Amino acid sequence: MLASSAFGQLCALASALSFALASVAISSNKRQGLPNDGAFLSVIMTVVFSLFLFLVFEDGTLPSLDDPKLSEGVLWFCLAGLFAMVFGRTLVFRSIGLLGVTRGTTVKKMNPFFSILLAVIILGESLIFEEILGVMALAFAIFLLISDKSRKYEHEVENTPKDWLVIAPLYIPGILSCFAYAVSYIARKNGLITLGTPAFGTLVSAMAGVCFYLILAIPFESYRGFVVEGVRNIAPITLAIGASMSVGQVLFFTALTYEELSTVVMIGSLETFIAIFLSVAIFRLEIRPSFKQLTAALLASTGVSMVTFY
């Protein structure tokens, strides 16, 4: 049990790294002004990648078509695909494009609060005192990052208090994406409880995402353009986005198979700080972090450690 739990935690950490790489690539893609943001391509790549894993590691076997567990699990995975691949992913791409890597991934990591709340209410998961302190530490870390005004946006000269009246609405897509991802996490966990097949679950969710995009492309011209641009003008950076998102998605599903949702989500919250490190220290896309940002990183790491080791 302990070994499987540790494996789930490692998968969650690897997933956070993959998503952090995707966030950095999204920001770089935005800076280059490329027409294809990689969102739809990432969903298609997730289909291909998860199909391969399903056939190789899960032997392509499922319960009988007459087994009610199959239809129940597929419905949960489809719901997860709708909220994660369509609502969540579209909104988080929009959020990172508007806010940059640091603030975009920071806002996205507000989803532990939605996720843990839903996990306690719907899945019946419990939190001990140390885990509650860990959640509070992460909450304060996120507050420090959002309130920090030392970092300049690409399109701004200075973040003054007056600017926040204009900046505040830019956070809405990120907050909505948090709720969408939280709902998808609950659906994924229920699907995995029913079937216990992470690769198949990822495959169904991704296929549902593709279908939803295609359905929306029929009446809405904006979605038609989104789908068309998603499969043409493919650059190396968009391939990197798609690959990172796909790997992160599969690893997240796998982590949920072996560990509680609340723990997986908290470990996944390290994506914010991994993305900041990559963006600042490795790829030099943003300026060096301020004292508040470094404090936030320390608090977040402490919070995640408290949830993980207790």
Position 152 pLDDT exceeds 50 = no
Query: What is the C-alpha to C-alpha distance for residues 17 and 299, in angstroms, rounded to an integer?
Result: 18
Q: 154 falls in which pLDDT band (50, 70, 90)?
A: very low
Q: 179 falls in which pLDDT band (50, 70, 90)?
A: confident
Return the pLDDT at 230: 79
Region 142-150: mean pLDDT is 68
Q: 237 falls in which pLDDT band (50, 70, 90)?
A: confident
Q: 289 falls in which pLDDT band (50, 70, 90)?
A: low
Query: What is the C-alpha to C-alpha distance for residues 306 and 310, in angstroms, rounded to an integer?
Result: 6
Return the pLDDT at 168: 66
Distances in whole angstroms, Cα of residue 153 to Cα of each of 110, 150, 285, 296: 20, 10, 12, 19
Position 173 pLDDT exceeds 80 = yes
Q: Mean pLDDT, the chain, as a whole number?
A: 79
Cα angle value 95/96/98 (rounded, 5°): 65
Return the pLDDT at 74: 95
Q: Which of the two residues, 245 and 233, has the higher pLDDT score?
A: 245
Q: What is the pLDDT of residues 273-288, one digit of tens each?
A: 788 788 777 776 666 6
**Spatial CB neighbours of 229, under 8 Å, sequence gap ≥ 6:** 35, 36, 37, 40
Return the pLDDT at 156: 40
Query: What is the C-alpha to C-alpha distance for residues 98 and 76, in angstroms, rounded to an integer?
Result: 31
Return the pLDDT at 292: 76
Q: What is the pLDDT of residues 122-137, one digit of tens each?
A: 888 777 777 788 778 8
Q: Which of the two residues, 218 and 289, has the higher pLDDT score?
A: 218
Q: 161 falls in which pLDDT band (50, 70, 90)?
A: very low
Return the pLDDT at 33: 67
Residue 241 belongs to domain spanning: 2-309
Rank 117-126, 226-235, 251-260, 293-302 by mean pLDDT and report only the highest.
Answer: 251-260
Return the pLDDT at 157: 37
Region 64-84: mean pLDDT is 90
Return the pLDDT at 91: 83
Query: What is the C-alpha to C-alpha distance for residues 238 and 291, in angstroms, rounded to an integer?
Result: 33
- Report the percent of the chain where pLDDT is more than 90: 21
Return the pLDDT at 251: 92
Position 89 pLDDT exceeds 80 = no
Q: 162 falls in which pLDDT band (50, 70, 90)?
A: very low
Write a three-state SS string for the chain.
CHHHHHHHHHHHHHHHHHHHHHHHHHHHHHHHCCCCCCHHHHHHHHHHHHHHHHHHHCCCCCCCCCCHHHHHHHHHHHHHHHHHHHHHHHHHHHHHHHHHHHHHHHHHCCHHHHHHHHHHHHHCCCCCHHHHHHHHHHHHHHHHHHHCCCCCCCCCCCCCCCHHHHHHHHHHHHHHHHHHHHHHHHHHHHHHHHHCCHHHHHHHHHHHHHHHHHHHHCCCHHHHHHHHHHCCCCCHHHHHHHHHHHHHHHHHHHHHHHCCHHHHHHHHCCHHHHHHHHHHHHCCCCCCCCHHHHHHHHHHHHHHHHHHHC
Distances in whole angstroms, Cα of residue 150 to Cα of each of 44, 185, 296: 38, 33, 14
* Other beta carbons within 10 Å of 129: 9
Total number of domains in the chain: 1
Closest CA to 275 of 297, 253, 292, 260: 297
